[in-house]
Amino acid sequence: MDPLRSSKQVLEWSQEANFKLLNFSLTEEDELQLLGRPEEVTRKEKYSIWRRENENGKADSKVCLMCDQMIMARIYSVLAKSRDKLDLYQDLLARLKESQLSLGEATADAKLPKSASERIKAMGELLVKARDQLYDCKAITQRLRAMLQSADEQVRSLKKQSTFLSQLAAKTIPNGIHCLSMRLTIDYYLLSPEKRKFQKSENLENPDLYHYALFSDNVLAASVVVNSTIMNAKEPEKHVFHLVTDKLNFGALNMWFLLNPPGDATIHVENVDDFKWLISSYCPVLKQLESAPMKEYYFKADRPKTLSAGSSNLKYRNPKYLSMLNHLRFYIPQVYTKLNKILFLDDDIVVQKDLTGLWEVDLNGNNFDPNACGWAYGMNMFDLEEWKKDITGIYHKWQNMNENRLLRKLGTLPPGTLTFYKLTHPLDKSWHALGLGYNPSIERSEIVNAAVIHYNGNMKPWLEIAISTDLTGQSTSTTSTPMFVAARSANRLFPLEH
């Protein structure tokens, strides 16, 4: 059973039952109205404590009626067993099983089998018999409340399970991308040293060109960012891409762009482990990674025995939130000492328009782009001359204060918000569309008109859990973006069974 679907379905049932139960009280007149006389029930071939609702002629009226009958059958089966009416108890269980088989996963009457009407009639007749022998308003109300409480507990459990599974899926590397990186790495190290070099290295420190910083361990995602930027650039030859990755993906990322050079643009790939100045005595994140409590929290914590137990703060227990590659964004002036301005791009964005206009924006000595009451990473222009006024020192201060994780959750957005407080300059919203990957209701016009679309949710386009349709079920423009196309291609090249 799909836990995400189950959670949603149980939640809907629980909310509906809660409303009905809170408004449920029987007077003598109500009993006659809701339960009816036996002959009346037999004639109408129905039995429901909420009969009026199920006489509405809607497309799901039979489905609702069967659900109501099953609820009453469960209640009467408990009462029958407690009062030692075992024959009636067995009959109720048998009819209940038949109704469950007929109902299945149906949500509309058209999906019910032909035998459903006969099952409804048979269940109605049995429930009339049970009512005559067992009906007790107080006992039924107590059982309904117990069922509601049980449903609420199930909803909470399923919510935790779905959270755990979605976070787990978000951290999983698809087989196709993993195999692609392995094959590229092997090919790279088979090359002679002179064939591993990129062209136009003289452009890397030219301040008159358009420079981009991209830190990623995902070959596919990085290639989409670079290629989508170049495809939409008016003067590709003036664009310079500075990529940094980790030791594991260094060969793969180099080989990809050696095989698929970005047109006339300049590209350079570095290994974060080669930055010898990044040491624990200087960098708080590296110092914290050496501490026993932090290792215990991220790498040696007791494994949960159940899915629901493992969902607690799972997102923030992801080791990537303390990875140096993730926190390298706070050291951009130290990495690119000869540049005065650079555009930082996350690897989960797709560029749809020329971005050179961002270099014309007067930042007034500030950095970043706020969004509403805060700002987001994804596409951020940095004035490196202003940053060199020890903004990294502010980041170090806040990072040191959070050594025991008491100040805030881990990650880069909280320290970024604190570090660049009152040092941001707003950009027009059309530059950066957020919400893809978790919000399926984003306006199509907002996606189409944005210069950059950002999959900042967990449902990245290279994952199986990616959102590929809008609420109406129609394919959105995101399904034809380079990110989706490349992801599907990689998975076709390296299917799971291989």
Same-domain pairing of 413 and 398: yes
> What single-letter amino acid sits at 488?
R
Same-domain pairing of 28 and 156: yes
Q: How far apart are CA 251 and CA 235, in angstroms?
A: 29
Overall domain count for the chain: 2
**Is 459 within a domain?**
yes
pLDDT of residue 49: 44
Q: How far apart are CA 327 and CA 279, in angstroms?
A: 13
Same-domain pairing of 360 and 266: yes
Same-domain pairing of 38 and 147: yes
Same-domain pairing of 240 and 302: yes
Look-up of token digits 């210069």: 451
Last residue of a domain, one of 152, 168, 184: 168
pLDDT in tens, 57-98: 577 888 989 988 999 999 999 999 999 999 999 999 999 999
**Is 342 within a domain?**
yes
Q: Are 223 and 486 in contact (CB under 8 A)?
A: yes
Same-domain pairing of 49 and 150: yes
pLDDT of residue 205: 94
Domain of 67? 3-168
Which DSSP string corresponds to 108-156? SGGGS-TTHHHHHHHHHHHHHHHHHHH--HHHHHHHHHHHHHHHHHHHH
pLDDT in tens, 439-472: 888 888 888 999 999 988 878 887 777 765 433 3
pLDDT in tens, 92-147: 999 999 999 999 888 888 889 988 999 999 999 999 999 999 888 888 888 888 88
Same-domain pairing of 310 and 413: yes
Alpha helices in 336-412, H assignment, sequence order:
384-387, 391-401
DSSP reduced 3-state for 290: coil
pLDDT of residue 421: 78
Same-domain pairing of 265 and 129: no
In sequence order, the 6+-apart residues with CB closer than 8 A to the CB of 381 are 341, 342, 343, 344, 358, 359, 361, 363, 367, 368, 369, 427
Given a cut of 70, the residues of the chain with pLDDT beneath it are 1-57, 164, 166-172, 294-322, 364-375, 405, 408-410, 467-498
φ/ψ of 32, rounded to 5, equals: -65, -35
Same-domain pairing of 215 and 266: yes
Report the relative pairing of strands 432-433 and 452-454 from DSSP bridges: parallel
Same-domain pairing of 140 and 184: no
Q: How far apart are CA 402 and CA 408, in angstroms?
A: 7
Task: State if pTM tops 0.85.
Answer: no
Same-domain pairing of 260 and 360: yes
Q: What is the CATH number of the domain that holds 234?
A: 3.90.550.10
Neighbours of 237 (CB within 10 A): 14
**Is 498 within a domain?**
no
Q: How far apart are CA 171 and CA 116, in angstroms?
A: 44
The distance from CA 440 to its chain's CA centroid, rounded to whole angstroms, is: 11
pLDDT of residue 18: 46
Q: Are 182 and 113 in contact (CB under 8 A)?
A: no
Last residue of a domain, one of 136, 168, 200: 168
Farthest-apart Cα atoms in the chain, separation: 94
Last residue of a domain, one of 128, 144, 168: 168
Same-domain pairing of 196 and 76: no
Q: In a 10 Å sphere around its CB, with 0-12 CB exposed, 13-18 middle and 19+ buried, how is residue 311 labelled?
A: buried
